[in-house]
Amino acid sequence: MSRGSMNYTYIVKCSDGTFYTGWTNDLTRRMEAHNQGRGAKYTKARRPVTLIYYETFETKEEAMKREYAIKQLSRKEKEELIR
């Protein structure tokens, strides 16, 4: 499978210490977008962000489903996942 066809669910740590979870098919481009203020409304005012966790998936649907599942976790559960 080529790198371009991978899908990612990721967690970034914002400058205020909060976490943001999202999905993308180009992790490098998405991190650049977040740090340029174009990634998400939530992260725009909390830059810079740092990638702290990601998982890879073959399909967009799998990545989106995992994003939803991670967003349902408590902060403590997310911290345990990141470890």
Residue ranges per domain, the chain? 3-82
In the chain, the amino acid numbered 72 is Q
Q: How far apart are CA 58 and CA 42, in angstroms?
A: 27
Report the C-alpha gap between 80 and 44 in whole angstroms.
26
CA distance 75 to 54: 16
Mean pLDDT of the chain: 95
pLDDT given for residue 5 in this prediction: 81
Could you check whether the bond before residue 48 is cis, i.e. omega within 30 degrees of 0?
yes
Sheet containing strand 19-24, edge to edge, reads: 19-24, 7-13, 50-57
**Is domain 3-82 given the CATH code 3.30.160.20 in the classification?**
no
pLDDT of 2 reads 46
Q: Write out the chain's pLDDT in tens, 83 residues.
A: 345 589 999 999 999 999 999 999 999 999 999 999 999 999 999 999 999 999 999 999 999 999 999 999 999 999 999 99
